[in-house]
Amino acid sequence: MVEYWNWAKTFRCRPLLYVEPTSIDSLRISLKEINKTKSKIRIIGCAHSPSALSMSNEVLISMKNFNRILEIDKENLVIHCESGVLLSTLNEILPQYNLSLPVQGSVSTLTIAGAISTATHGSGIQYGTLSSYVRSITLMKLDGELKEFRLEDDEDLFRCLTCCLGTFGIIISVRLQVSRLFYLELNQHPLEFRKFLNTLPVYYSSSDHFRYMWYPHTNFGIAYHLNRVQPRIINNKNSFLSKFISWFRYSLIGYHLLEVLFLFSLYFPRFIRCINNIYFKLDGRSCHKIDRCDKLFNFDCLFYQYANEWAIPLDQAVSCLLQLEKLMEQNNYVHFPIEIRFSKDEDLSYLSPAYKRKTCWINTVAYRPFGKNHLEHQTYFKAFESICYKHNGRPHWAKEHPLTNEDFSKLYPQWNLFHQKRKEFDPNDLFLNDCLRNMFS
């Protein structure tokens, strides 16, 4: 029996049937067989979702073989690619056509279908989540019918499909709006947390893709200003000495020693304050860099982790962050960094957490050094969730949260319409696993 884990190794499933179709026909044949038994189905991308969203103990379908880029329309800035194409592949191929993805998050080992199904986001108050760049979706329905869906054909349905958590059918391919190739100029500097809060709008609007990494218990964080610039030739040749210094700093101290220290802190939680302070002193330097966009959008998320992220309406972000600061003062021991990002209000996906609201995303993690399971983070995560919820926060779909159908129906104006449409595609709830049933009922 195949055993499948999510990336963070926090959830696992043992599907009775695991399928990796290689063609439309083989997928259709598998679906026909699966339909006879009325088994529950989940579709899996790279399993990077930190929750149990893509887990199934009945049927698990991986679209990893659907990995071709079908068309690149340079003039209209639209690409057509199969659902299993990795963002990292697009990051290598698109620059050859003078194109790049319009936005992206911290990592690119995600499939395009997985990324849009949970409204994966980066940062930039003028930019939406990846779902907001979808121009069409080709879906295989449960009965094997294949159809391309566009906004022009059925607006409501399309707005459901662009972020649908794998509950309508199997995404075969996606047309996506892309950008002309751009590089990013990074200016990073330490910034006092209160100064950041007091002038929040100045910061999030001062550069194309601003993000703030807060080091809890230090009163400080690092501000990253990323501005789009023309592509250019970058000389990345480093001397042996600079390679050694980089290995010493980022691999030995910044990774391996840190993992040992975090392990230690599981037994002595008070030590976390000290770790955050030491690492802020090491990391909190100013830095200037120019590179291809993906190389500065993406960064090393370090070790396996529990993750909790909420989309807060922008006008409530300061109040929410102030309450979080108070929470830290009450002796909650929180790993660095708390990542604070921004995105514009969007309306292409009814279930995008940024639907019709300018958004401040707040992401907190609890590391699992050496893959160790622990419960140390739970009290803090609960308090964090409660603060975000009180500020009308919507949780990130791929991450853990305690909300139910009733909560979501208040948070999403089109929640009921989404379910009505979903039921038309999946009347017997075959695409719902336990994780989704908890949210949907």
Ligand X SMILES: Cc1cc2nc3c(=O)[nH]c(=O)nc-3n(C[C@H](O)[C@H](O)[C@H](O)COP(=O)(O)OP(=O)(O)OC[C@H]3O[C@@H](n4cnc5c(N)ncnc54)[C@H](O)[C@@H]3O)c2cc1C
Of 234, 211, 209, nearest in space to 222 by CA: 211
Of 39-47, 175-183, 282-290, 422-430, the window that binds ligand X (rule: CB under 6 A) is 39-47
Cis peptide before 402 (omega within 30 of 0): no
Judged by CB under 6 A, the residue of 52, 53, 94, 338 near ligand X is 53
- Within 8 A by CB and 6+ apart from 370, the residues are 259, 263, 303
Closest CA to 5 of 38, 37, 43, 51: 51
Instruction: Return the residues of window 166-195 that contact ligand X according to CB under 6 A.
Output: 166, 170-171
CB atoms within 10 A of CB 61: 22
**Single residue of 13, 19, 115, 191 touching ligand X by CB under 6 A:** 115
Q: Which is nearer to ligand X, 45 or 221 (CB)?
A: 45
Would you count residue 308 as binding ligand X (CB under 6 A)? Answer: no
Residue linked to tokens 């391309």: 148
- Tell me the closest approach of the beta carbon of residue 52 to ligand X, in angstroms: 10
Size of the site for ligand X (CB under 6 A): 33
Q: Which is nearer to ligand X, 236 or 373 (CB)?
A: 373
Does residue 132 belong to the site contacting ligand X (CB under 6 A)? no
Considering only 121, 209, 211, 335, the residue that binds ligand X (CB under 6 A) is: 121
Q: Quick one: 309 or 385, whose CB is closer to ligand X?
A: 309
Tokens of 209: 């893709």
Nearer to ligand X, 215 or 304 (CB): 304
- Minimum CB separation from ligand X for residue 362, in Å? 12
| CA-to-CA dists, residue 393 to 5, 71, 163, 396, angstroms | 28, 38, 18, 9
Q: Per rule CB under 6 A, is residue 106 in the interface with ligand X?
A: yes
Q: How far is the CB of 72 from ligand X (least distance, A)?
A: 20
Query: Could you give the CA distance from residue 118 to residue 111 in angstroms, rounded to a whole number?
Result: 11
> Of the ranges 20-28, 113-121, 141-149, 234-242, which one interacts with ligand X (CB under 6 A)?
113-121
63 forms part of the interface with ligand X (CB under 6 A): yes
Q: Does 422 bind ligand X (CB under 6 A)?
A: no
Our CB check for ligand X shows the closer of 15 and 45 to be 45
Alpha-carbon gap, residue 217 to 221, rounded angstroms:
10
Q: Does 46 bind ligand X (CB under 6 A)?
A: yes
- Give, as ranges, the residues between 65 and 94 that touch ligand X (CB under 6 A): 83
Choose, by CB under 6 A, the member of 44, 79, 90, 184 that binds ligand X.
44
Closest contact distance (angstroms) between CB of 326 and ligand X is: 26
Q: Give min distance, CB of 408 to ligand X, in A.
A: 15
Task: Give the binding range for ligand X (CB under 6 A) out of 30-38, 44-52, 344-352, 368-376.
Answer: 44-52
Tell me the closest approach of the beta carbon of residue 140 to ligand X, in angstroms.
9
For ligand X, the closer of residues 67 and 219 by Cβ is: 67
> What part of residues 136-165 is at the interface with ligand X (CB under 6 A)?
165
Q: Under the criterion CB under 6 A, does residue 387 sit at the interface with ligand X? A: no
For binding to ligand X (CB under 6 A), which residues are involved?
7-8, 42-50, 53-54, 63, 83, 105-107, 110-111, 113-115, 117-118, 120-121, 165-166, 170-171, 301, 398
